[in-house]
């Protein structure tokens, strides 16, 4: 992967919280969620990060690529940069 969404960075920017408030357990707690699974288990961490991303989308966040590797260097992608690739995933709509 050469481009990705850093959820910690997106979370901090969207909810206007300092970097020390973007640890996984703190983000979950601030969103009223509990950590599901075993801490530091890659699969469980991924599932919890996905829950945060879903909540951010529900709250109106426009998740965009915000980091990339170029020439072996980590680079921040400007939030004003045009979207590349597929559109952001949409939450399924349920009929009542």
Q: How confident is the model at residue 18 (pLDDT cuts 50, 70, 90)?
A: very high
Task: Please state, as a whole number, how many other Cβ atoms lie within 10 Å of the Cβ of residue 7.
Answer: 19
pLDDT of 39 reads 87
pLDDT of 3 reads 93
Supply the pTM of this predicted model: 0.77
pLDDT of 84 reads 47
pLDDT of 82 reads 47
Q: How far apart are CA 18 and CA 22, in angstroms?
A: 7
C-alpha angle 37-19-76 in degrees, rounded to nearest 5: 100
**What domains does the chain contain, in order, with CATH numbers?**
3-76 (3.30.420.10)
pLDDT of 81 reads 52
Q: How far apart are CA 68 and CA 74, in angstroms?
A: 6
Q: Which of 91, 85, 41 is nearest to 61 (CA)?
A: 91
């Amino acid at each position: 992967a050469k481009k990705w969404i850093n959820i910690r960075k997106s979370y901090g920017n969207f909810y206007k919280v300092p970097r020390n408030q973007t640890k996984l357990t703190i983000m979950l707690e601030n969103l009223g969620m509990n950590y599901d699974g075993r801490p530091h288990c890659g699969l469980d961490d991924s599932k919890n990060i996905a829950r945060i991303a879903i909540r951010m989308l529900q709250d109106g966040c426009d998740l965009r690529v915000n980091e990339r590797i170029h020439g072996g260097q980590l680079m921040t992608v400007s939030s004003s940069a045009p979207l590349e690739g597929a559109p952001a995933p949409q939450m399924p709509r349920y009929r009542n």
